[in-house]
Each structure stands twice: as C-alpha cells, then as structure tokens.
Amino acid sequence: MSVAVVVGGPSAEANVSRTSGRAVADALTSAGHRSALLELDGDLPRALSAGVFDVVFPVTHGPLGEDGCLQGLLEVMDLRYVGSDVLASALAASKPVAKVLFRAVGLPVAADMVVRAGDDSLRAAREARRELGGALVVKPACGGSAIATSRIDADAADDELASAIRRALEVDDAAIVEPFVRGREVTCGVLEEPDGNASALPPTLIEAQGADWYDFTSRYGSGKSRHYCPAPFEPDLIQRIQDAAVGAHRALGCRDLSRADFVVGDGGEVTLLEVNTLPGMTSTSLFPEAAAARGVSFVELCSRLVERARSRKPRRIPAPLPMP
C-alpha cells in the first residue's frame, strides 16, 4: 500500500510527533509498503490529493492532529485512515468531557474542577483548595505529554497554584485541576483485533528517573524513565487495569488503538487519568513496547494498523433528496 504518514502541526508536541512518524514510516517500509511523511499544515490537502494514497496514518499529537480536526479533513477527502474517528478523537482530547463519559459508565476517575481563560486564577485556586484538597495537579484540559502540567504540594501557597493555572491556560483555553493521587504510574494500551474486538495489552509500570513524577523530561529524555511491561502486579490488579482501559476505549468510541493512563495506589486503587487516541509510536514508546510484550513486533503493529484501516468499508453517501 501507499501510506501517507502525517506528522507535526501547530502543537507543542510537534517534535514528539515527527519522531514517531519517522519510526512508523521506516516500519512500514520494512513491511513492504510505500510511505511518505507529510506535515500537518495548510498544504496537506494538496499533498494528500497529489499522492494518491491508499491509507493515511496520523502520527500527530495535540491540537488539530489528535482532536478530530485532521480526522475531519480526511473524512471530507474520503480517505481511509488509522485511528479513531472525528467524534471519538474530539471526546478523548478534552479531559473534562472524557471524564463525564467515564463517570457515566462507572470508571474510576478523580474529582476535578475546570478553570477557563478569563477566570480569576487566584479565586479559582482558593476554590479548588476548598473543593479538592491541598495537594493538586493542574494541566491543560486538552493537552498532552505533561506539557504545562504542574504538581502542587499541600503546603504550597495559593499563589503558586494560581501560577500553575495560568501556565496551563497559556497553552489551552481551559485548565483542569484534580486532587493529587499518590501511587504508581501505569499505562495500558488497547489494540483492536481484525474482527474489531478491543483487546487490552499488558499494562506497563512507569518509574520516572528525571523527576519525582512522569514529566516531559522523564517521558522523552534518554534514560529518564524505566518501563516494566508486563507490570509486576497480581493478576487481579492487572485484570482491573485492563478492564478499565477497554472500558474507556469503548466509552469514547475509540477505534483501532488507544492507550489509557492510570495511577495505582498502594492499596491497589485504580484511578483512570486520560486516554490517548494516538499514542507515541517510536519502537521504544509505551504502546509498541506493550504490543511487543504481546508478541506483536513494531513492524507488524504498524502494518496491521494500515491493513485494518484499508479494509474498512467506504463511508455511505446517501443520494441527495430533491427539493420539494
């Protein structure tokens, strides 16, 4: 197949995306496909039209690439693509909206408060402390890769919390504030089988080395984190994590693949944080690592995803009704 691998875009995560995209393109070449790297910009529609591609593989993160905008363009152009459709992508990209759906199906999520651009940040900080407690986490409502995410200790001043809210609002129109849940950071991928059945991959335990939590440096700096996959947990805990990951995938209506992030408390309490519809895709990223633990190599994973996208039935186009 001829595959367009779309990367970059106007996002703070653009370089992460480009790194993943190069790895995906190399893997597709190894699998016998033809691939081309295309940038998510104003020239993308022309490049997609000129390339005559069988499948588009979005390897994009953040605004326009992961929130349904790119997916909408591909729908308009009637191109088959890897990953979730417009609605699921948009739902997952908004942490506050996703959590509404997670709560509706009984998935374990933390309480939260949303602060919007234009709100008084100090007033919001004081309200968050009253409603959510002293130790808090602040992050952009639609961001990823821990960019502009802050962890605020219980003894920190309200001004420090207000500053964290303002930092998050510099990269998004809304910030989400949640209680800091102490525990181990865990992620769990979901990969759909050829028959469409969503199957959880082995969970991964993450130990940050670059900081005392899994921040941007720990995620992407060489040697700044350790991954243990499968996670060294009891079978019951592994099953609960996997069930929650599949439940979140289905609640949002995700397609092909997703990766859910969790905090697991010392007593085994599982808290679902968010779902990524387009997880990082270098050969050492969390999702491909978990697929490899299942026995699916990176080359096989990338090829399998484009084959699944190519086999999807074309979108039904109804005949226009005549005007009365």
Catalytic residues: 13, 145, 220, 259, 261, 274, 276, 280
Q: How far apart are CA 37 and CA 40, in angstroms?
A: 10
Among 48, 67, 69, 55, residue whose Cα is nearest residue 1 = 55
**Preceding amide of 45 cis, omega within 30:** no
Among 110, 112, 104, residue whose Cα is nearest residue 247 = 104
Q: Indicate the residue type of 229.
A: C
Contacts of 127 (CB under 8 A, 6+ apart): 113
| Phi, psi (rounded to 5 degrees) for 136 | -135, 165
Q: At what angle do helices 158-169 and 121-132 cross, to 10 degrees?
A: 110
Which residues are registered as beta bridge partners of 4?
36, 56
Q: How far apart are CA 157 and CA 235, in angstroms?
A: 41
Q: What is the spatial order of strands in the sheet that 136-140 belongs to?
A: 113-116, 174-179, 136-140, 150-152
**What DSSP assignment string belongs to 107-143?**
--B---EEEETTS-HHHHHHHHHHHH-SSEEEEETT-
Among 273, 251, 272, residue whose Cα is nearest residue 198 = 251
34-39 and 113-116 beta bridge pairing: unpaired
Structure tokens at 169: 């609002």
In contact, 270 and 243? CB cutoff 8 Å: no
Contacts of 120 (CB under 8 A, 6+ apart): none
In contact, 109 and 99? CB cutoff 8 Å: yes
